[in-house]
Amino acid sequence: MKIQSYVKGEWCSGNGRVDTLVNSVNDKLIGEVHSLDSDFDQILEYGRSVAGPELRKLTIHDRAERIKLLAKYLLDRKEDYYRISYMTGATRADSWVDIEGGIGTMFSYTGIARRELNNDTFVVEGPVEPLSANGTFVGQHILTSKEGVSLHINAFNFPVWGMLEKITPSIIAGVPVIVKPGTVSCYLTEAVVKAIVESEILPKGTVQLISGSVGDILDHVNEQDVVTFTGSASTGRKLKSHPNIIAKSVPFTMEADSLNCCILAPDVTVDDPEFDLYIKEVAREMTTKAGQKCTAIRRAIVPFNMTEAVSEALIKRLQATVIGDPGQKETRMGALVGKSQRDDVLAAVEKLMTGNETLLSGMDDYQLIGADSDKGAFMAPTLLRASDPFNNITAHEVEAFGPVSTLMPYDGIEQAIQLAKMGKGSLVGSVITKSPEYARDIILASASHHGRMLVLDAECASESTGHGSPLASLVHGGPGRAGGGEELGGSRAIKHYMQRTAIQGSPTSIMAITNQYTKGAKTTTDRVHPFRKYFEELEIGETLITHRRTVTEADIVNFGCLSGDHFYAHFDEIAAKDSFFEKRVAHGYFVISAAAGMFVDPGQGPVIANYGIDNLRFVEPVGIGDTIQVQLTAKRKIKKTKKPDDKYDTGIVVWAVEVTNQHNEPVAVYDILTLVERMKKD
């Protein structure tokens, strides 16, 4: 079988280097990868010129909706991927993280995009910035899709998740992708890309796949492209320093394997549930994916007086781990991805043994379930203990990318923090403690050296996703040795593939560009009340100015009786005079309730419901005898995707509301959201 590439709209094999791939469990031949040897400039240009324009025509919400459909499509075919994943040495549990974890990331991003980003082809970011005294010159930030492609050079250990967690934010951002998976497991990535292509959910050419070498592709990336890399720090540094990357300032994000740590705080004893949590967490990170995780725990930092107890408990748990054929139900740890990878791990272990004590050796004889010890890339867990982790820095420098970890004793949390930092930058660190105070001290002192940190205790253990699980809503990346970049991270990841631009001009110009009302912009009025208009009929900047209303003592008394709010500033004449207000004032919520009564059209119409209030501020107090008036302006429109059980096609209209007093001073400002019916289509 030939593992193919998908480029320029077709499946093909190259004439370059040939790599033979074998099953990591039994050494059976899987197939060959024939690397492409030319036309990498054309592959890049195909993404830029064919897929890019079509993708950018779609709104952000449309792109997210297509990703959601694609995620469902892939989920229906997950069992095919599980069968293939077995050949990488992964158990069902290992594969779940990769396959369903990757698909779950797609679902997460679709929700993030629809919740946090406007339904347009670009993003309006942050508030309008005033740039002049009279408000006629303002600034705003927008993000537009880069007009290049994103090239993802991925590691071998997560052939599905590693691809999906990168391509999803890029596609939502409007940037087509080229995926280069780790060669040794690229056959699983190929299977998923085949489904993506067959689904025809995305515009043609949105996803291209390069199986095998990337050749000279970095010679051809340009200023509009983005490159991301996951893998070893040494390879990442070579790619990052490529002359063309430097010359054209091509954004390059690196996520490198790091020497992550897990700290057992001094307050935990062997009788505490947190002790068991520590043992489980370290053992799980050593054995999941046979330790082939960039987030795995490589350094287990424990109090000096707990070293023996931790050693004994860890050895007992690791020795009970069933190793063998990942297809067997009893198996808890499968094989490494290949024999060359096992050789690399064993060579790293040899280095780690220098000056450190071997507590449990993966080189010793061990029993395999359903597998032949003469075949495959199996290795047992290896546990070391650093005799002097402050002076023998090997365990802070050398990473064995397999089921290997080193215990490091410390005396006092200052030493624990020092050891954590000696990793010179990590993707993740964790602290297991009963004490919020210890957690605070350790996290704040060592966060500068970590991209993510987990605090684990008995309270959150049942729902915690664990030390080694990056989540779509949180940043995944880290400083220093970990690469100095970020992946994932909610809407931040989508924005990574977009260009942030500051635009300056008059409020009216900025409103025209952003499709959002800007205070001070020219507005329009209509004899028809805006609440009588369907979603499509409303124009941004359309304004209603209401009649006036004078606030009376009866209003305050009645609202207080209705709400039960009898705060002294509303009812106690003497206390109110001595207060900040210097007089009795109306309830703030009375003011916005009265405002609603002034701008709402009471008849049945396209406005279905109040959807919420954002950014409410009470600016000035309203006293007895003050007169208020309301200006209601259509600020932003968000078209909603109709769900099967929805009765109406709807959209959300965001209205800027400003309540002023008789001196034309703002007393309350806020945004109100209404659910508005869209016009019925023929």
Least confident of 425-439, 484-498, 502-516, 613-627: 484-498
pLDDT above 70 covers a percentage of the chain that reads: 100
Q: Residue 322 and residue 631: Cα distance in Å, rounded?
A: 70
Name the fold adopted by 260-461. Aldehyde Dehydrogenase; Chain A, domain 2 (3.40.309)
Q: How many helices (H) and strands (E) does the chain have?
A: 21, 30
| Average pLDDT value for the chain | 94
pLDDT tens digit sequence for 202-236: 999 999 999 999 999 999 999 999 999 998 888 88
Confidence of residue 681 (pLDDT cuts 50, 70, 90): low
Q: Does domain 516-677 have CATH number 3.10.129.10?
A: yes
Pull the structure tokens for residue 333.
């740890």
Domain covering 2-125+139-256: architecture: 3-Layer(aba) Sandwich (3.40)
Query: CB under 8 Å to 48, separation ≥6 — which residues?
Result: 147, 148, 149, 176, 224
Residues of the chain with CATH 3.10.129.10: 516-677
pLDDT tens digit sequence for 27-51: 999 999 999 989 999 999 999 999 9
Select from 426, 164, 151, 447 the least CA-distant residue to 293: 426
Least confident of 9-18, 103-112, 206-215: 9-18
pLDDT tens digit sequence for 411-432: 999 999 999 999 999 999 999 9
Q: Residue 158 and residue 186: Cα distance in Å, rounded?
A: 10
pLDDT of res. 682:
42
Q: Residue 679 and residue 682: Cα distance in Å, rounded?
A: 9
pLDDT of res. 642:
78
CA distance readout (Å), 370 to 16, 25, 121, 253, 365: 37, 10, 54, 41, 16
pTM: 0.92
Q: What is the DSSP string of 262-294?
A: EEEPTT--TTSHHHHHHHHHHHHHHHGGGG--T
pLDDT of res. 277:
97
Residues of the chain with CATH 3.40.309.10: 260-461
- Token match 């107090």: residue? 621
CA distance readout (Å), 480 to 181, 396, 450: 24, 13, 9
Please identify every residue annotated as catalytic: 255, 294
As a whole number, mean pLDDT of residues 314-326 equals 95
Size of the chain, expressed as the number of residues it contains: 682
As a whole number, mean pLDDT of residues 17-28 equals 94
- Token match 């703030």: residue? 588
Residues of the chain with CATH 3.40.605.10: 2-125+139-256
Sign of CA dihedral 242, 247, 249, 250: negative
As a whole number, mean pLDDT of residues 63-67 equals 97
Residue 615: count other Cβ atoms within 10 Å of its Cβ: 12
As a whole number, mean pLDDT of residues 182-191 equals 96
Confidence of residue 645 (pLDDT cuts 50, 70, 90): confident
CB 454 within 8 A of CB 430: yes
Q: Residue 190 and residue 305: Cα distance in Å, rounded?
A: 50
